[in-house]
A and B are shown apart, each in its own frame.
Chain A
Amino acid sequence: MDISREEASSSLREIGQAHRRSTVMQNYRHFAPHMLVWGCVWLLANGLCDFYPDQVGLIWPVASIVGVIVSLANRKRVRGRLVGTAAGMPGSMLAQGWRWVLAAAVLYAFFVATFNVLPPGSTIQATTFISLFFMFAYMIYGALAGLRVFFIGLIATIAILYGYFSMATHQFMWLGVAAGGALIVGALWVRKT
């Protein structure tokens, strides 16, 4: 079998393209269920905050814990589906689960530290900051792992900023609909890949 340099070069290009597309698809498949969960958390938690603004300090910690638990359960289900029985090894899952809990604790500590250094003027300011933080994180992840996630983060960021600077009332509701809605719609879009 004789392969010319041009043919070899063209084959390597095709290999690279197929590899990239497969990797992006895997990233989306891993990410979509989490995005759906956190979209629902954002929507419900902010919706509740709109009705009970004095309960923000209770609603968000509870919603975050529920989100982490459902995300962990989702992760186990998705990995089991993708990899089969080898991925469902208890030791491996336990180790990965603790990483998520640790990551959540680090994020919580980050926001506590940040709000102590730069105290927010209102609860909506604090919640908007947290939402923006995550949407920018989505954009960074999307830039590296799949552009659809980047655009979802970008649209949600623009919507959040519009609501924060333009709306006088129901900012929590807007935050829930904008950020949560973008994540839910985005998860469905990404899952269709």
Chain B
Amino acid sequence: MNAANEIIHQTMRLKIMSALNALRTGAKLEFQELKSLLGATDGNLGTHLATLEGAGYIAIEKDFVGKKPRTRVAITRAGRRAFEQHVDYLRDVIAGAGGTSTSADG
């Protein structure tokens, strides 16, 4: 049976993972796009991205376009797998098969 993922389950991180999971493999979203997509603030988004990056679920790439700094975010293969497992767990809970097990790494 799938287990709940405490890292992913937090509301903002769930939205971040969902938005990134909708992209094709290797595709990236810019920080500002993600911010407007989720209605988050800079600080809030930055904190949650750091948590997800620390868990290996997303990859953050920083570079410059001309003189302007740019931050792009992509979901990793491990992140996609963990997210899908968490979604399966949520479906299990709704179907009545959910338990109280917890997983941090999906």
List A residues at the B interface (Cβ < 8 Å): 1-5, 8-9, 11-12, 14-19, 21-23, 25-26, 82-84, 86-87, 193
Contact = CB atoms under 8 A, between A and B. Distances in A.
Contact of A14 (B11, B93, B100): B11
B91 A12 contact: yes
A30 to B, nearest CB: 11
Contacts of B93: 3-5, 8
A75 to B, nearest CB: 14
Please classify the interface of chain A as helix (H, G, I), strand (E, B), loop, or mixed, using the class held by over half of its residues.
helix
Contact of B90 (A8, A17, A87): A8
A14 B14 contact: yes
Nearest to A84: B26
Nearest to B90: A8
B85 interface: no
Given A3-B4, A26-B27, A19 B94 contact: no
Interface residues of B, number: 34
Interface string B26-56: 1111000100111000000000000000000
B87 A12 contact: yes
Contacts of B94: 5, 8-9, 12
B23 A22 contact: yes
Contacts of A3: 4, 9, 89-90, 93, 98
Contact of B19 (A11, A21, A82): A21
A1 B27 contact: no
A84 B38 contact: no
A18 B27 contact: no
